[in-house]
Amino acid sequence: MRLLVEKLPLSENTSFVARTHRTPHFEVPWHQHVEYELILFTEGAGMSFVGNYVGEFEVGDIYFLGANLPHTFQKTGDLVTSAVVVQFKADFWGNAFLELPECRMINKFLKAAAQGFKIQGALKQTLHPIIQQLEHARGFDRVLLLSKCLHLLSENDEHQTLSTQELKPLQLRDQERIDRIFQHTMEHYREPITLEEIGAVAGMSIPAFCAYFKKRTKKTYIDFVNEMRIGYACTLLADTEQSIMQVSFDSGFNSVAHFNKQFLKIKGITPSKFRKAFTTSAFA
């Protein structure tokens, strides 16, 4: 399956998009677009895939994604999911605006966003109402509110860098190959995936595939799959009352011991402590 290149519609009265996407219109496949994206989740929870990053999202989370950064957000189960999504091109102000001395920090931030950011701390709380206002603003107020968001983002380092994937442009054949690998993995990570199977998807021998994937993503394929499985496990631990054993099997692990080991490695905490911490924070 090829990576979907999304083309965003603009009305004659707008220079960028700001609107809520809600189930079923929220669900989109692995895709990319030339626009930068600022996204605030207002309902639901699930898993985020940004470049080679795998994590979880929940209500209140905010992401900022650079231009042409492949991504998808997959909801958990039957949850209704929605988000305010703001998408804009770097030149929506005009070609010279970002070259102004006053825009130096914003320009620097946009370049750094090529790997994607997840916003954290007090900055997330500050941005939340501004993004919600932006969806309903009209006229020049839209430009002012988006500019305020970018100013706050560029002046603050409360964000987590996401993807570590190589940023250099790939040849079309190479891009299609890595996209096939990612898409197949996202569709089947809860099932056993052998290196022989994924190598066939890539059209490569096992040794060639392992070397290729490590070079392209800076991580082994096994580590990548385990991150997906642990991310899914986190949503089950937070949103269901399934036993640790059931969560481990539903997430694709064939033993509870291996699940516990990988969970501790990736999250720095045991599954039971994660569930307890999440439950405590939810009712605090």
Express each pLDDT in 152-185 by its tens digit.
Answer: 999 999 999 999 876 555 566 777 888 899 989 9
Q: Specify if 266 maps to a domain.
A: yes
Query: Shortest CA distance to 86 belongs to which of 127, 11, 146?
Result: 146
Band (pLDDT 50/70/90 cuts) for residue 283 is very low
C-alpha span between 226 and 230 (Å, rounded): 6
Do residue 157 and residue 19 come from a single domain? yes
C-alpha span between 187 and 180 (Å, rounded): 11
Q: What is the pLDDT of residue 167?
A: 57
- Is the separation of the CB atoms in 56 and 79 below 8 Å? no
Do residue 176 and residue 143 come from a single domain? no
> Which has more confidence, 230 or 276?
230
Do residue 25 and residue 54 come from a single domain? yes
Q: Specify if 107 maps to a domain.
A: yes
The total domain count for the chain is 2
Band (pLDDT 50/70/90 cuts) for residue 79 is confident
Band (pLDDT 50/70/90 cuts) for residue 93 is confident
Q: Specify if 166 maps to a domain.
A: no
**71-75: strand order across its sheet:** 4-5, 31-32, 71-75, 45-50, 53-58
Do residue 231 and residue 131 come from a single domain? no
Q: pLDDT tens, 23-34?
A: 887 778 888 889
Do residue 151 and residue 62 come from a single domain? yes
| Strand partners for 50 | 53, 71
- Is the separation of the CB atoms in 3 and 152 below 8 Å? no
Domain of 89? Answer: 4-161
Q: Across the chain, what does the average pLDDT equal?
A: 89
Do residue 24 and residue 157 come from a single domain? yes
Q: Specify if 167 maps to a domain.
A: no
Provide CB contacts within 8 A for 251, sequence distance 6+.
Answer: 190, 229, 230, 232, 233, 236, 259
Band (pLDDT 50/70/90 cuts) for residue 7 is low
Q: Is the pLDDT of residue 199 over 80?
A: yes
By DSSP bridging, strand 31-32 and strand 4-5 are parallel
Token digits for 176? 């299609």
Query: Shortest CA distance to 116 belongs to which of 179, 48, 175?
Result: 48
CA angle 55, 56, 60 (to 5 degrees): 130
Boundary residue ending a domain (109, 135, 161): 161
C-alpha span between 33 and 24 (Å, rounded): 20
Query: Shortest CA distance to 242 belongs to which of 261, 224, 259?
Result: 259
In the chain, the amino acid numbered 21 is: H
Q: What is the pLDDT of residue 8?
A: 57
Boundary residue ending a domain (161, 189, 204): 161
Band (pLDDT 50/70/90 cuts) for residue 6 is low
Do residue 183 and residue 149 come from a single domain? no
Boundary residue ending a domain (161, 194, 212): 161
Predicted structure pTM score: 0.84
Q: pLDDT tens, 221-251?
A: 999 999 999 999 998 998 889 999 999 999 9
Do residue 9 and residue 116 come from a single domain? yes
Do residue 181 and residue 232 come from a single domain? yes
Do residue 65 and residue 202 come from a single domain? no
User: Residue 189's domain is classified under what CATH number?
Assistant: 1.10.10.60
C-alpha span between 91 and 100 (Å, rounded): 13
Q: Is the pLDDT of residue 1 over 50?
A: no
